[in-house]
């Protein structure tokens, strides 16, 4: 167990620049942007979005910032999985870790779990800090925007807690849903290195096109593979539920919204996806053990 925790810590140390330091820099830029906007007094748009309701303005602002952080996380995770599984072969790290009492599968699994827990956890912590900064911003807004009602600090704190829980639930669901895709990118990078960046998309698309030529007349949408991938990649139903609650003028019901988000997931597909992730990582570990010697 201690060796596996050391593997997780190693992943953090090697990639903290992208998942810790860079987000802190971006957070500083967010603070600078907020200060400049408030200092310029060009924030009358707040009245249009908030309809003179500070709590709803906060929900919209927090949701907007959270969306930007999730986009950043998605991009960084894709490049992490496309490189981390092959990075050991570019230095002597492979020899070091092979000398430890851990197998190749444990090393592969540590990278996978770091990508699903450690790094998203760091970004979620940054998101929480962003939410607190937005509370301060909403409290200052009435001093800048004439006619905007003064917000209640307890109400904003409650909104921050509610939105944060919803963001966390949504993040967990997204990671579970896309785990097989991330595992596919990581396993592919074990074999082809950074070429996994284009091939992770080109191989499934190429297979669907080839299959579509054969089954064009009988397959739904011209291709069974493409139809399945289109449905598997889509997360529109859950995102629509979240968007609808945030944009609604009604207060957010955390229990009802989280229940709807969880219910909107196709849980058998989640189970199949996790099984696929375990299998492809195992196959990649076997390839790593037999072919890649360090």
Domain ranges within the chain, ordered by starting residue: 2-290
Per-residue pLDDT tens over the stretch 64-118: 899 999 999 999 999 999 888 777 766 555 555 566 666 778 888 888 999 999 9
**Across the chain, which distance is largest between two alpha carbons, in Å?**
70
The answer on pLDDT for 142 being more than 80 is: no
Number of H helices, E strands in the chain: 13, 0
Ranking 35-44, 113-122, 167-176, 219-228 by mean pLDDT, the lowest is 219-228
Inform me whether the pLDDT recorded for 48 exceeds 60.
no
Q: What percent of the chain clears pLDDT 90, i.e. is strictly above it?
A: 30
- 52 vs 263, more confident: 263
How sure is the predictor about 221, in pLDDT bands with cuts at 50, 70 and 90?
Answer: low
Give the model's pLDDT for residue 215.
60
- Judged on CB neighbours under 10 Å (0-12, 13-18, 19+), 17 is exposed
> Which sign does the torsion angle of CA 218, 220, 223, 225 carry?
negative
Model confidence at 285, pLDDT cuts 50, 70, 90, reads confident
Residue with the larger pLDDT of the pair 95 and 239: 239
> Where are the alpha helices (H) located in 17-117, listed in sequence order?
22-40, 45-50, 54-87, 93-98, 104-113
In the predicted structure, residue 46 carries a pLDDT above the cut 70: no
pLDDT at 131 over 80: yes
pLDDT at 169 over 90: yes
Is 280 a residue whose pLDDT tops 80? yes
Tell me if 75 sits within 8 A of 26, measured CB to CB.
no
The stretch 54-70 carries a mean pLDDT of 85
> Averaged over 12-25, what is the pLDDT?
91
pLDDT at 58: 84
Cα separation, 10 vs 63, whole angstroms: 32
Could you tell me if 8 and 114 are in contact, meaning their C-beta atoms sit under 8 angstroms apart? yes
Higher model confidence: residue 103 or residue 53?
Answer: 103
Mean pLDDT value across the chain: 81
Q: How far is CA 207 from the centre of its chain?
A: 27
């Amino acid at each position: 167990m201690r060796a596996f925790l050391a593997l997780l810590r190693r992943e953090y140390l090697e990639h903290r620049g992208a998942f810790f330091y860079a987000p802190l820099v971006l957070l500083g830029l967010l603070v600078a942007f907020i200060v400049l906007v408030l200092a310029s007094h060009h924030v009358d748009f707040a009245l249009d979005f908030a309809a003179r309701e500070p709590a709803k303005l906060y929900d919209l602002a927090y949701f907007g910032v959270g969306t930007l952080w999730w986009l950043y996380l998605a991009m960084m995770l894709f490049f992490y999985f496309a490189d981390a599984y092959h990075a050991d072969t570019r230095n002597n790290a492979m020899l070091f870790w092979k000398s430890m009492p851990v197998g190749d599968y444990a090393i592969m699994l540590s990278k996978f779990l770091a990508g699903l827990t450690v790094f998203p956890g760091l970004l979620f912590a940054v998101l929480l800090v962003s939410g607190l900064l937005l509370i301060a911003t909403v409290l200052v807004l009435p001093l800048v925007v004439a006619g905007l009602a003064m917000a209640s600090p307890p109400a904003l704190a409650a909104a921050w807690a509610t939105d944060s829980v919803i963001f966390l639930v949504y993040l967990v669901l997204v990671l579970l849903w896309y785990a097989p895709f991330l595992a596919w990118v990581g396993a592919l990078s074990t074999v082809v290195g950074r070429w996994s960046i284009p091939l992770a998309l080109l191989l499934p698309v190429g297979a669907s096109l080839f299959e579509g030529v054969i089954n064009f007349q009988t397959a739904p949408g011209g291709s069974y593979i493409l139809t399945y991938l289109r449905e598997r990649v889509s997360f529109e139903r859950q995102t629509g539920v979240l968007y609808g609650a945030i944009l609604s003028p009604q207060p957010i019901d955390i229990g009802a919204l989280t229940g709807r988000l969880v219910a909107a997931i196709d849980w058998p597909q989640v189970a199949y996806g996790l099984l696929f992730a375990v299998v492809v990582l195992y196959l990649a570990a076997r390839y790593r053990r037999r072919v890649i010697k360090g």
